[in-house]
Structure 1
Amino acid sequence: MEAELMALAASGASTLISLMISDAWAKTKDRLAAILGRIGDEKETLRELEASQAVLVSALAEADDVTVAAIEGEWRARLSQLLLSDSSCVEDLQFLAAAPGDAVHNNITGRVQASLLIQAGRIERSTFHTLPEQTA
C-alpha cells in the first residue's frame, strides 16, 4: 500500500508542476491548499504554493531544470507526508490526475489521411523519426 501512496505522490507532484504553468492553476491552488492544510496551516500552504509557482515560472523561462526538479521534489515529499499521515486524502488528491480545467473537444473533419497528427499545448525536447518513403 505504501508503494501505491508514493506512486500517487509522485504522479500528483508531476501534475502539480504542470498545473502551476497552466490556466487551470487559479482553479486548483485553493483546493490543493485546503488538502495540504490538513498537516499544516492552509493559508501558509497557499502562500508556499504561490511562491513555488512564481519560482517555477521563472526557472522555466531560464531553462533551469535543476530548480524545476527541486520544486517538484519538494511537493512530492509534501504529498508523500500527507498521504502517509492521512490515507483518507487519496481520493482528494486523485483530482490532480484529472487535471481540472476547461474541457477541450476537438473534431477532425474532411477526408481521411494516413499521416501523423500531433496535438499538444506544449512539446519540449522531442524528436520524431520517420521512415523513408518506399518506392515500388
Structure 2
Amino acid sequence: MEAQMIDLARAAGTAVVTLMATDAWERTRDGVVALWRRASPSRADGVEEELEAARDDLLAARESGDDLTERELREAWTGRVRRLLRERPEVASELRQILAELDPELQDGAPRTVQMRAEASGSARVYQAGRDQHINER
C-alpha cells in the first residue's frame, strides 16, 4: 500500500507542476486547494499561496530555461502530497478522481507508459517526447 501512495503522490506532484503552465491551471489550483480544505482545513490557505508562488517560480524558470527549478518543484509537491496521504490516506480516491479530471493522460493516478524507439545514422538527429518538447539549438 505504501508504494501505491508514493506512486500516487509522485503522479500528483508531477501533474500539479506540469499543469501550472497550462490553461488548466485555475482548475488545478482549485482542485488541490479543495482537497486540502477537506483533508486539512487549517493548511488550505497556505497551500493556495504556495501553489501561486510555485507557479510564479515555474513560469520564471521556463522563461530562463531553468529545468532544475521545475524538477525541484515536482519533488516539493510530491512530498507535500505524500505527507497529506500519510496523514489522511482516505483522500487517495478523491485525489485520483481530481487527477483524472485534470489530466486525462492519468489513469488510476499514474501516468501512462510511453515507449519510443528511434534510430539515427550519419549526422541525423532524433527528437522524441511523450508530451511537451522544447528544443533550443544554437
1:123 corresponding residue in structure 2 = 133
CA contact (8 A) 1:12 1:96 kept: no
Give the 5 Å matches for 1:82-121: 82-98=84-100, 100=102
How far apart, CA to CA, are the structure 2 residues paired with 1:46 and 1:30? Answer: 8
**Overall identity of the aligned pairs, in %:** 26
**Structure-2 change in CA distance of 1:88 and 1:25 (3 Å):** same
Q: Give the deviation of 1:66 after TM superposition.
A: 1.4
Indicate the structure (1 or 2) with the bigger Cα radius of gyration: 1
**Structure-2 change in CA distance of 1:61 and 1:47 (3 Å):** same
Q: Give the deviation of 1:124 after TM superposition.
A: 3.2
Query: How many aligned residue pairs are there?
Result: 109
Deviations, residues 90-112 of structure 1 (Å, cap 9, x unaligned): 112113532527xxxxxxxxxxx
Residue 60 in 1 paired to residue 70 in 2? no
- TM-score, normalised to structure 2, is 0.69
**Which residue identity is paired with 2:83?**
Q
Q: Point out where structure 2 has 5 or more consecutive residues left out of the alignment.
A: 104-127
Q: Give the deviation of 1:121 after TM superposition.
A: 7.3
**Which residue identity is paired with 1:122?**
D
How far apart, CA to CA, are the structure 2 residues paired with 1:99 and 1:22? Answer: 14
**Structure-2 change in CA distance of 1:48 and 1:5 (3 Å):** same
**Which residue identity is paired with 1:35?**
L
**Which residue identity is paired with 2:79?**
A
The alignment yields a C-alpha RMSD, in angstroms, of: 2.3
How far apart, CA to CA, are the structure 1 residues paired with 2:63 and 2:97? Answer: 28
**Which residue identity is paired with 1:45?**
V
